[in-house]
């Protein structure tokens, strides 16, 4: 269906290089919708069409996605890799081997660890050519400070670091020059919405139809938003003022402001004010040193509730260390632990893994 009486006559029957034209700000949402319908052509690049629009490759005209028009990209080269784009710019094979091997497209921004790559500006321009839906490339240099603020540098494009990223239907507004966003946590963010939905459907004691969740390190709403969209009421605590601003904005962006109660504070201060009847069904501790806050988490969690504890753990201690820390804290509080699940989310650094332990606390 088309929002501008989309033209399909230029595509032709049996055409093998079709694309739908959409406004650039909608590109990421449309790509997700096309993937869900099964017509997104991942073998071709998204390309700029006009100044305000992009052409997204499809295998067939979509039936459930709005677009401006369907066009045929006859004769357009199918350049698929960053190395292909760099070779077009005269890079040797040896130089291409030094180019980044991974990056993330976050809304309209490409976030990349540039490493020792030669000529970073050319890498940035090649990434923009590879991802027509993006308009800025940021080189990521690390995370600094108590508020875990990103150290980034614009290496190509317009330099606009504010964007809206869509992921499994959840929309995240952010400024990537001011707040962190890990693409590697994508599956875990989606999973938190799923566990809320599954718990409500099963009538789990920790997940009744009015489940109340405490997100102790909410950030811009990484886990809060999918859980609230799944029907939970979430107390979301974040002390970074910039992240908190986006957290509040994102609750409105996702139409969940009535189910999210945001606090700009230290999570320990919020928990200290909890009365017994305010204890929650689920606690999310999405911070690598979350174990330091386990006493507060256990204070907030009702008997039979579920805790999700994240940790950056050396490979040799994966799962053993976070479970031991959790069991020790529970024992001090006179409570017992039933480990429900353990997961590796991603690599944190060399020899260190980002892991999660899910446990029921009685």
Q: Do 82-160 and 183-361 fold alike per CATH?
A: no
Residue 299 has pLDDT above 70, yes or no: yes
Give the pLDDT score at 5. Answer: 32
Q: Kindly indicate the confidence band of residue 161, based on its pLDDT and cuts at 50, 70 and 90.
A: very high
pLDDT digits 0-9 by tens, 26-39: 888 898 889 889 99
Residue 46 in contact with residue 57, Cβ under 8 Å?
yes
Could you tell me where the beta strands, DSSP code E, fall in the chain? 18-23, 47-50, 53-58, 69-72, 103-106, 109-112, 136-144, 149-157, 162-167, 170-175, 212-215, 233-237, 260-263, 280-285, 301-314, 337-349, 352-361
Question: Which range has the worst mean pLDDT, 62-71, 88-97, 136-145, 324-333?
Answer: 136-145
Residue among 118, 124, 111 nearest 82 (CA): 124
* For range 298-317, the mean pLDDT: 96
CA distances from 3 to 64, 70, 165 (A): 12, 12, 22
Please state, in angstroms and rounded to a whole number, the distance separating the CA atoms of residues 285 and 154.
31
Q: Which of helix, strand or coil describes residue 303?
A: strand
| 353 token code pair | 């893994």
Residue among 190, 228, 208 nearest 306 (CA): 208
Give the pLDDT score at 12. Answer: 36
Ranked by mean pLDDT, the top range of 87-101, 193-207, 218-232 is 218-232
* For range 260-289, the mean pLDDT: 93
Which of left, alpha, beta for 190 (phi over 0: left; psi -120 to 50: alpha)?
A: alpha
Residue 219 in contact with residue 188, Cβ under 8 Å?
no
Residue among 177, 215, 173, 217 nearest 193 (CA): 215
Strand duo 233-237 + 212-215: pairing = parallel
Beta bridge mates, 263: 237
Query: Mean pLDDT score of the chain, rounded to an integer?
Result: 88
* For range 62-72, the mean pLDDT: 92
Alpha carbons within 13 angstroms on the beta-carbon side of residue 106 total 28
Residue 341 has pLDDT above 80, yes or no: yes
Q: What are phi and psi of 129, to 5 degrees?
A: -65, -35
Beta bridge mates, 22: 54
Question: Which range has the worst mean pLDDT, 17-26, 153-162, 208-217, 351-360?
Answer: 208-217
Question: Which range has the worst mean pLDDT, 133-137, 149-153, 269-273, 274-278?
Answer: 274-278
| 317 token code pair | 């201690």
Residue 211 has pLDDT above 60, yes or no: yes
Q: Kindly indicate the confidence band of residue 51, based on its pLDDT and cuts at 50, 70 and 90.
A: confident
Percent of the chain scoring above 70 in pLDDT? 90
* For range 291-316, the mean pLDDT: 96
In 3-state terms the chain splits into helix, strand, coil percentages (rounded to 5) of 30, 35, 35
Give the pLDDT score at 183. Answer: 85
The domain over range 82-160 is classified in CATH as 3.50.50.60: no
Give the pLDDT score at 9. Answer: 38
Sheet strand arrangement including 53-58: 47-50, 53-58, 18-23, 69-72
Residue 14 has pLDDT above 50, yes or no: no
Residue among 196, 259, 189 nearest 220 (CA): 189
* For range 198-207, the mean pLDDT: 54
Question: Which range has the worst mean pLDDT, 50-54, 249-253, 269-273?
Answer: 50-54
Give the pLDDT score at 199. Answer: 60
Give the pLDDT score at 207. Answer: 42
Three-state SS sequence of 128-165: HHHECCCCEEEEEEEEECCCCEEEEEEEEECCCCEEEE
* For range 246-263, the mean pLDDT: 97
CATH code of 183-361, in short, is 3.40.50.150
Give the pLDDT score at 50. Answer: 87
Question: Which range has the worst mean pLDDT, 44-48, 75-79, 128-132, 135-139?
Answer: 75-79
Please state, in angstroms and rounded to a whole number, the distance separating the CA atoms of residues 307 and 305.
7
| 91 token code pair | 């890079």
| 288 token code pair | 């690598």
- Helix segments in 277-339, DSSP class H: 294-300, 320-332
* For range 311-340, the mean pLDDT: 96
* For range 51-77, the mean pLDDT: 85
Domain boundaries, the chain: 18-72, 82-160, 183-361
Neighbours of 133 (CB within 10 A): 23
CA angle in degrees (0–180, nearest 5) for 318-362-224 = 65
Residue 307 in contact with residue 326, Cβ under 8 Å?
yes
- Helix segments in 38-181, DSSP class H: 82-88, 93-97, 120-130
* For range 140-156, the mean pLDDT: 82
């Amino acid at each position: 269906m088309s929002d501008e009486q989309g033209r399909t006559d230029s595509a032709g029957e049996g055409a093998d290089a079709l694309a739908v034209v959409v406004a650039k700000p909608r590109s990421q949402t449309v790509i997700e919708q096309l993937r869900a319908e099964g017509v997104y052509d991942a073998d071709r690049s998204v390309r700029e069409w006009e100044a305000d629009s992009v052409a997204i490759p499809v295998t067939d005209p979509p039936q459930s996605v709005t677009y401006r028009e369907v066009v045929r990209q006859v004769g357009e080269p199918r350049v698929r890799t960053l190395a292909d784009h760099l070779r077009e710019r005269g890079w040797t094979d040896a130089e291409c081997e030094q180019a980044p091997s991974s990056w993330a497209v976050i809304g309209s921004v490409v976030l990349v660890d540039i490493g020792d790559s030669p000529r970073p500006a050319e890498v940035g321009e090649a990434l923009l050519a590879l991802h027509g839906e993006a308009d800025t490339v940021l080189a990521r240099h690390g995370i600094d400070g108590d508020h875990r603020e990103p150290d980034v540098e614009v290496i190509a494009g317009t330099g606009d670091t504010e964007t809206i990223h869509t992921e499994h239907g959840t929309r995240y507004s952010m400024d990537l020059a001011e707040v962190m966003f890990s693409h590697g946590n994508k599956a875990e963010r989606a999973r938190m919405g799923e566990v809320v939905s599954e718990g409500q459907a099963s009538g789990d004691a920790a997940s009744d139809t009015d489940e109340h969740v405490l997100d102790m390190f909410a950030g811009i709403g990484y886990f809060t938003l999918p859980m609230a969209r799944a029907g939970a009421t979430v107390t979301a605590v974040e002390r970074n003022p910039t992240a908190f601003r986006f957290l509040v904005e994102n609750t409105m962006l996702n139409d969940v402001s009535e189910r999210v109660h945001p606090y700009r504070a230290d999570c320990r201060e919020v928990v200290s004010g909890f009365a017994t009847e305010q204890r929650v069904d689920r606690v999310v501790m999405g911070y690598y040193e979350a174990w330091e806050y386990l006493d507060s988490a256990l204070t907030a969690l009702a008997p039979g509730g579920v805790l999700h504890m994240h940790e950056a753990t050396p490979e040799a201690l994966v799962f053993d260390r976070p479970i031991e820390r959790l069991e020790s804290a529970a024992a001090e509080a006179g409570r017992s632990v039933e480990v429900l699940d353990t997961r590796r989310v991603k690599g944190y650094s060399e020899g260190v893994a980002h892991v999660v332990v899910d446990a029921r606390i009685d």
